[in-house]
Amino acid sequence: MNPVNYLYLAALLFAIGATGVLIRRNAIVVFMCIELMLNACNLAFVAFSRMHGNLDGQIIAFFTMVVAAAEVVVGLAIIVSLFRSRHSASVDDASLMKL
Amino acid sequence: MSFPLLTATAALPAVGAIATAAVPAARRSAAKWLALLVSLATLALAVTVLVRFDPDGDRYQLTESRAWIAEFGVRYELGVDGIGVALIGLTALLIPFIILAGWHDADPLETKSSRWRPTQGFFALILAVEAMVIISFEATDVFLFYIFFEAMLIPMYFLIGGFGDRAHAGSDENASAQRSYAAVKFLLYNLVGGLIMLAAVIGLYVVAGNFSLQEIAEARANGTLDMATSTERWLFLGFFFAFAVKAPLWPLHTWLPNAMGESTAPVAVLITAVVDKVGTFAMLRFCLGLFPEASKWATPVILVLALISIIYGALLAVGQRDIKRLVAYASISHFGFIVLGIFAMTSQGQSGATLYMVNHGLSTAALMLVAGFLISRRGSRLIADYGGVQKVAPVLAGTFLIGGLATLSLPGLAPFVSEFLVLVGAFARYPVVGIIATLGIVLAALYTLVLYQRTMTGPVKPEVSAMPDLRVRELVVVAPLIALLIGLGVYPKPLTELVNPAVEHTMSDVQQKDPEPEVEAAK
Amino acid sequence: MENLIALLVAAPLLGAAVLLCGGRALDRAGHWLGTLLAAASFVVAVVLFADMLGKGAEERTLSQHLFSWLPVEGFQADVAFQLDQLSMTFVLLISGVGTLIHVYSIGYMEHDERRRRFFGYLNLFLAAMLLLVLADNYLLLYVGWEGVGLASYLLIGFWQHKPSAATAAKKAFLVNRVGDMGLSIAIMLMFTTFGTFAFGPVLEATGETSEGKLTAIGLMLLLAACGKSAQVPLQSWLGDAMEGPTPVSALIHAATMVTAGVYLIVRSGAIFNGAPEAQLVVTIVGAVTLLFGAIVGCAKDDIKKALAGSTMSQIGYMILAAGLGPIGYVFAIMHLVTHGFFKAGLFLGAGSVMHGMNDEVDMRKYGGLRKYMPVTFVTFGLGYLAIIGFPGLSGFFSKDKIIEAAFAKGGTEGWILGSVALLGAAITAYYMTRVMLLTFFGEKRWQPDAEGHAPHPHESPKTMTIPMIVLAFGSVFAGGFFGIGDRFLHWLEPVTGHKHGHSPLSAATVTGATVGVLLIGVALAYLQYGRGPVPVTAPRGSLLTRAARRDLLQDDFNHVVLVRGGEHLTRSLVYVDHTLVDGVVNGTAATMGGLSGRLRKLQNGYARSYAVSMFGGAAVLIAATLLMRAV
């Protein structure tokens, strides 16, 4: 199969993720959409790795997974503590960080 | 390698500042004595510099040079000429008086917790300013100079914003708001000037490849460093703008009345007599030394600005109702004279300007510190709140009058010598400018005598009737200043001999000769 | 011998320093110390004078170089003294009259708790005045010039608790400063023209420069002289200066300081000789002031202010003479010296009267005092006869010479100046007779004041009368001593130079005319004030009288134009500084603040809107990159 199709898929997934981040309010869903975007990138990396015939892309994909895992830990912790204090998981309710 | 005297002179107050800041909260008076001691030791070092300096020797003496940031050609280069020595002497001399005059200005208020340590902070900041000012006078590396030129804004900001007049302290919210406005204004004004100068400093590096004042000046003189006319002018403007803010020259002056009005009298003296001198000093050393052609190009405009400063500052001083703001506007007028002397490009003008820097420091210190003593007694800065003080406190009134007479340049007192030299120097090259500037002496008499008349003479106001005369500590501050004012007025020769060779060098920097008299009179 | 010169200045300077810095411990003996040091200065002056008389006319100039004051590249100012016949004349006058007035002040200021300080100021004045006449260059002269201004400021405002005194002191200093501006410009002109401002080189080199330069220098010197010597248009301070204690009026504002302008012009004779136009202006100023002062003197009811008007007028004579050039210099100085005697004597007499009359100054409240104060009456009377130029007394010799010299100027100018001088002599006789009649003759007109204290006129103590007697002696004999046989002329001629003028009128005619107008003036005053009772409150008077009472409206002019105008100017400048100059600064700050306020609206705290901007930004970047590639 043409590896370029994987890139199309990655672009599609990224777009879905981005749209989700922009239109959904629920922090968990936004979070999941970010994961989707990250994984879209991973897919693109792996596809490029295949296309160029070296392992750089795959290595970076592993890096991304590790970072994503760490991010999940921190992110979920923030969401949980936010939910505890606000009784809501809406990202729009946490708008105190403005000037 | 000989003992690094210049470094030591600047480092001692810096170390002293840290030590003073570290004194525990309860040992308040120890902090004061420590600061005084350090400032006196610095004075001793400054005197050593003065003694070791040979006026007829090399242009820059007691030089030190070390690599610092080699990648950018920044070196730690120090050296003094006669002008620098004179100003280091002035700074080191005034700081002990400033500390002594502000002895009680930063005593903590009862209401605050015991961990609050304003006293330590106040004196540590003063010493920090001293260290930075001294090193600015010593630096012969443009970048090194720039760093301390800017860094002294930080302690000054806290001194202006953090310590107001005792009379207004604590309860008065409005005074506190005014004070922080003044401090922010001071900081922003000078920061803008400084940033424009930074751009010029970087520009200079791009053109010249290093920051050494001597190397660049030499390279320019023997033609190895060619600067396009427009480049030179832009760089000159960048430097000059920063110095004109600091000096301050009309129309960049409006921060000074606020800053001097809101801070305590010793801090006001620190601003106008010490810190501002860095601006005029740098005009002589950097503007004229690095960009002689551009300096000559800009002279007409600068002379006009200086004239406006002289007349405008004096007229505004006449219109003030606040003692400290009056002195501030008077200082603006005097800075006009200094700039006039520098850019008249005659030996008399530049010698006069240098002497003026020293003498203005002494006279303003005398006047402002006595005004501070007066204000601390009555708790008001308004001229209208006083009257008849000389009846109840004759010594205070007498010293105030002498400070005032020095401000109006009475012959016999030091400022006359310098003012007359500036006028003669300006007149020799630009007669009209000289004549207009002479108007300043009439206006100076007006604002000084009106101030004296309204505060000191007339019937005794009930509010001042119990005013005590000068105390011993206050006399110790004022008497030596007055003695110096008289001494340097009658016998200014040591100072002129110190300054003359340096002025000759500057004159050769800008390749100017004094105008010849019309008739070579029979000697 | 020349090493003694510095002592002349040093003695009173030491006195001033000790008296002003020393504390209350000196209160009891301070006045004696001050008087002693003034007398010491006089003794030194006499020793130097005796030495000078022993030498030939050409070797009389002594000089003493103390130290180099202000050495700057191309600019040399020294502290050095020069004592020639001209300076010597002044030194004797200043230290002599000064010592007498110190003695007088011991009595006059007896009840003043700040007497020590008063003597300190008087000593300071003597030092500055001696420095002024002894300096060998214009810059050092300038130091003395402003020094006497300072002493005058301190002494006019000595009773500082009176707002009027403080204002008068300030006014005197300010008006003088305007004159000082002239002096400093003159010095600058000399420096650029001659490269020096020492008397010798400058005055020798006047021939080598253009007349225009000399005229400019001369006019600036004249401005200085106008300020110090209270000449029109800078005369307004002198009347107010009478707020000072009377000995001060006698010493500073009659005998010595106010004559410094005459000294300056005579000293700079070589400059004026080369600038006829400047000389013409000098004579005009002198003539105008001569009339101005005389008219003001006629209208004042305050005895000291009447005398102040007279001083102004007499100095007008001197300035007029000095403006005549070599035909007048000697006579200007001669009149200056005789005037120093009789005017100081008159002022001391006035002080003595005030002393006995509870400090009342209004002559309309005196009357018939000759019975109560015989010594004052006689000494004042002799001074009076001297000033109006009664034949045989001092004023006769000196004034007559000036009038003669004015006619000798020649041409229409000579006629005008001479007639003005004659007219002035008539008015002098009128107003001085008026003062005399109002004070010492007629009915007694004093009444108890509001608190019921009636004055008890009495003769003053010895310390006050003795100086008055000595000065009266001088008023009577000095003129004859100087004038007969042209002694004074021979004494001063080597310094100032002299040229005999050719008057269109013979000397006898001029003398006759002078005596004639004198009699007319006396007779007019007698008709008005001597025959009937004098009203205690002044009548409204003619328009001229009312204007003269207000110093011919000069103060009103100054007030409206300078004071009011200045107030408006400074006030509007304060406003401009606040709103415009500072406004631009604050405006910039406010604009920045406003802009950032707008910008910060973007930071609304909603994470998703940040995400939109991120995506938008990324999209733009990618699009831009692609576009660049495509191009």
* pLDDT exceeds 60 at position C115: yes
Nearest chain A Cα distance for residue C591, angstroms? 18
* pLDDT exceeds 80 at position B329: yes
Overall average pLDDT of the C37-44 stretch:
94
pLDDT confidence band for C386 (50 / 70 / 90)? very high
pLDDT in tens, B113-131: 555 678 888 999 999 999 9
| pLDDT at res. C339 | 93
Overall average pLDDT of the A9-16 stretch:
94
For a pLDDT cut of 90, what percent of chain A falls above it? 63
Neighbour tally for C49: CB within 10 Å: 16
- Considering B220-234, B360-374, C387-401, the range whose residues carry the highest mean pLDDT is B360-374
Can you give the length of chain C in residues? 631
| pLDDT at res. B90 | 94
- Nearest CB neighbour to C608, from listed A22, A96, A99: A22
Inform me whether the C-beta atom of residue C569 falls under 8 Å from chain B C-beta atoms: yes
All chains having 3 or more CB pairs closer than 8 angstroms to chain A? C
DSSP helix/strand/coil, B164: strand
Cβ within 8 Å, pair C143-B412: yes
pLDDT confidence band for B520 (50 / 70 / 90)? low
Inform me whether the C-beta atom of residue C602 falls under 8 Å from chain A C-beta atoms: no
pLDDT in tens, A47-61: 999 999 999 999 999
Cβ within 8 Å, pair C194-B446: no
Higher-pLDDT residue of C35, B3? C35
**One-letter amino acid for residue C367 of the chain:** G
The whole-angstrom separation of Cα B435 and Cα B251 is 22
Cβ within 8 Å, pair C606-A92: yes
Overall average pLDDT of the B251-270 stretch:
91
Q: Count of CB contacts below 8 A, B vs C?
A: 175
C194 Cβ contact partners less than 8 Å away, ≥ 6 residues apart: B517, B518, B519, B521, C201, C202, C205, C209
Inform me whether the C-beta atom of residue C514 falls under 8 Å from chain B C-beta atoms: no
| pLDDT at res. A97 | 65
Cβ within 8 Å, pair A92-C608: yes
Half-sphere exposure in the Cβ direction for B153 (13 Å, CA) = 22
For chain A, the structural domain boundaries read: 4-86
- Nearest CB neighbour to B347, from listed C72, C174, C589: C72
Cβ distance C566 to B447 under 8 Å? no
The whole-angstrom separation of Cα B368 and Cα C311 is 40
- Nearest CB neighbour to C573, from listed B319, B500, B516: B319
A91 Cβ contact partners less than 8 Å away, ≥ 6 residues apart: A25, A26, A27, A30, C606, C607, C608
B352's enclosing H/E stretch is: helix B347-378
pLDDT in tens, B422-443: 999 999 999 999 999 999 999 9
pLDDT in tens, C339-365: 999 999 999 999 999 888 888 888 888
pLDDT confidence band for B523 (50 / 70 / 90)? very low
| pLDDT at res. A98 | 64
Overall average pLDDT of the B240-266 stretch:
91
The one-character DSSP state at C371 is: G
When the pLDDT of each residue in chain A is averaged and rounded to a whole number, the result is 89
Residue numbers of C between 126 and 165 with CB closer than 8 Å to A: none
For chain B, the structural domain boundaries read: 5-509
A42 Cβ contact partners less than 8 Å away, ≥ 6 residues apart: A61, A64, A65
Cβ within 8 Å, pair C577-B493: no
| pLDDT at res. B169 | 45
* pLDDT exceeds 50 at position B521: no
For a pLDDT cut of 70, what percent of chain B falls above it? 96
* Nearest alpha carbon to residue C329 among C279, C389, C293: C279
pLDDT confidence band for B175 (50 / 70 / 90)? confident
- Nearest CB neighbour to A98, from listed C603, C608, C611: C603
C515 Cβ contact partners less than 8 Å away, ≥ 6 residues apart: C389, C391
Cβ distance B92 to B77 under 8 Å? no
* pLDDT exceeds 90 at position B211: no
Inform me whether the C-beta atom of residue C69 falls under 8 Å from chain B C-beta atoms: yes
* Angle of the C138-156 helix axis to the C115-134 helix axis, nearest 10: 160
pLDDT in tens, C174-194: 999 999 999 999 999 999 998
Q: Could you tell me which CATH number the domain at A4-86 has?
A: 1.10.287.3510
Inform me whether the C-beta atom of residue C147 falls under 8 Å from chain B C-beta atoms: yes
Overall average pLDDT of the C238-253 stretch:
90
Cβ distance B361 to B277 under 8 Å? yes
Overall average pLDDT of the B337-341 stretch:
95
* pLDDT exceeds 50 at position B522: no
Least confident of B8-12, B349-353, C103-107, C553-557: C553-557
Nearest chain C Cα distance for residue A2, angstroms? 24
For a pLDDT cut of 70, what percent of chain C falls above it? 100
Overall average pLDDT of the C404-414 stretch:
87
B421 Cβ contact partners less than 8 Å away, ≥ 6 residues apart: B341, B348, B349, B351, B352, B355, B356, C70, C72, C75
pLDDT in tens, C261-275: 999 999 999 999 999
Give the CA dihedral C358, C361, C365, C366, nearest 10 degrees: 80
* Nearest alpha carbon to residue B502 among B9, B48, B56: B56
Phi, psi of C536 (to 5 degrees): -70, -40
* Residue numbers in A near C608 (CB within 8 A): 21-23, 25, 30, 91-92
pLDDT confidence band for C432 (50 / 70 / 90)? very high
pLDDT in tens, B181-190: 899 999 999 9
pLDDT in tens, B68-92: 888 888 889 999 999 999 999 999 9
* pLDDT exceeds 60 at position B196: yes
The one-character DSSP state at C190 is: H
- Considering C98-102, C106-110, C592-596, the range whose residues carry the highest mean pLDDT is C98-102
* pLDDT exceeds 60 at position A99: no
pLDDT confidence band for B161 (50 / 70 / 90)? confident
pLDDT confidence band for B170 (50 / 70 / 90)? very low
Cβ distance B7 to B64 under 8 Å? yes
* pLDDT exceeds 70 at position C596: yes
* pLDDT exceeds 80 at position B396: yes
